[in-house]
C-alpha cells in the first residue's frame, strides 16, 4: 500500500480558485498480532510497519530484544502486522487491562505510563554520551530534508535516531509516538543499539514520547517544541537529557544538561 495518494482539490491564489492535484498522506488502522492473537491496534502511515512493531513491542516490554522475534509478516496489505515471538504474556495482559490512550497524534495505547514516575517499570539511564550545541543545530536543521513524506504532504511527524554524521535512522508517521518506534525499530533491525544514539523528533515531548526513550535507554531526546510537566519529571527521574525548542542555536535543556556541551 502506497503511503500517499493523489486528491483533486481547489487551490486558491491571488483570490482565484483553480484545479490542483494534491498529495495526501494515507492513514490506516493496523493491528499487531502476536503468536496469532491480536494485541493492539493503532492508526499509522503504511511505511516501515515492521520497524514500527519492533520498536513498539520493545518499548512496552512485551519482547526484550529483536532476538525474541522469530518472524514478522505483513498481511492484508499492511492492515495486520503478524509477529511470531517469545513474548511476555504478563505484559500483554497488562496492556489489555491497563491500556491508556496516549496524548500523541494517532490512536495508540500503552500500559507503561503513570502519574508517579517512580512506578514506571524502567531502569535509570547510565550513559556518558554527549553532543555539542552546534551539532544539535545542524542535525535538527537537516533531518527534515531527508523525510520525503513530509516534503510531499507536510502532514507527518518525523524522527531521527542519530549515531554519527553518517549513521542515522529516519522515520515518518501521522503519529509522533510511532515515529520513535519506527526509527528505533529500523536501528535495531540494522544491528544498532538505541542506547548509543540520540533521538530527535518534530513533535512535543509528552509523557509517552519520553517513556519510549527511557525504555530504550536513549540518553538524549531533542525536539523542536516543548515538553509537558510529566515528561520532564519522567526524564529527570530516569537520567534522560531532555531538550526542547531546539531551533537554530536556541534551545531549552530541561533535565541533565551536562550531556549538552557548549560549542
Supply the residues annotated as catalytic.
105
* 135-156 burial: b if 16+ Cβ within 10 Å, else e: bbbebbeebeeebebbebbebb
The alpha carbon of 9 is separated from its chain's Cα centroid by a whole number of angstroms, namely: 31
Report which secondary-structure segment, H or E, holds 152.
Answer: helix 148-153
| Angle, alpha carbons 75-64-218 (nearest 5°) | 105
* 46-79 burial: b if 16+ Cβ within 10 Å, else e: bbbbbbbbbbbbbbbbbbeebebbeebebeeebe
Amino acid at each position: 500500500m502506497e503511503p500517499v495518494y493523489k486528491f483533486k482539490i481547489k487551490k486558491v491564489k491571488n483570490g482565484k480558485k483553480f484545479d490542483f492535484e494534491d498529495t495526501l498522506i494515507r492513514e490506516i488502522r493496523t493491528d499487531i498480532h502476536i503468536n496469532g492473537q491480536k494485541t493492539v491496534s493503532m492508526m499509522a502511515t503504511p511505511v516501515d510497519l515492521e520497524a514500527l512493531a519492533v520498536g513498539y513491542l520493545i518499548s512496552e516490554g512485551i519482547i526484550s530484544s529483536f532476538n525474541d522475534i522469530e518472524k514478522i509478516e505483513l498481511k492484508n496489505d499492511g492492515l495486520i502486522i503478524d509477529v511470531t515471538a517469545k513474548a511476555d504474556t504478563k505484559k500483554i495482559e497488562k496492556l489489555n487491562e491497563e491500556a491508556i490512550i496516549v496524548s500523541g497524534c494517532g490512536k495508540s495505547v500503552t500500559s507503561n505510563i503513570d502519574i508517579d514516575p517512580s512506578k514506571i517499570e524502567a531502569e535509570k539511564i547510565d550513559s556518558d554520551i554527549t553532543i555539542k550545541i552546534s551539532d544539535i543545530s545542524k542535525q535538527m536543521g537537516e533531518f527534515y530534508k531527508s523525510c520525503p513524506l513530509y516534503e510531499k504532504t507536510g502532514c507527518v511527524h518525523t524522527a531521527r535516531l542519530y549515531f554519527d554524521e553518517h549513521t542515522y535512522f529516519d522515520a515518518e508517521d501521522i503519529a509522533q509516538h510511532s515515529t520513535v518506534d519506527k526509527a528505533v525499530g529500523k536501528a535495531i533491525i540494522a544491528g544498532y543499539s538505541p542506547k548509543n544514539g540520540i533521538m530527535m523528533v518534530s513533535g512535543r515531548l509528552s509523557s509517552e514520547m519520553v517513556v519510549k526513550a527511557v525504555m530504550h535507554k536513549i540518553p538524549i531526546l531533542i525536539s523542536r517544541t516543548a515538553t509537558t510537566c510529566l515528561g520532564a519529571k519522567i526524564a529527570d527521574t530516569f537520567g534522560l537529557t531532555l531538550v526542547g525548542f531546539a531551533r537554530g542555536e536556541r534551545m531549552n535543556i530541561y533535565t541533565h544538561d551536562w550531556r549538552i556541551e557548549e560549542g
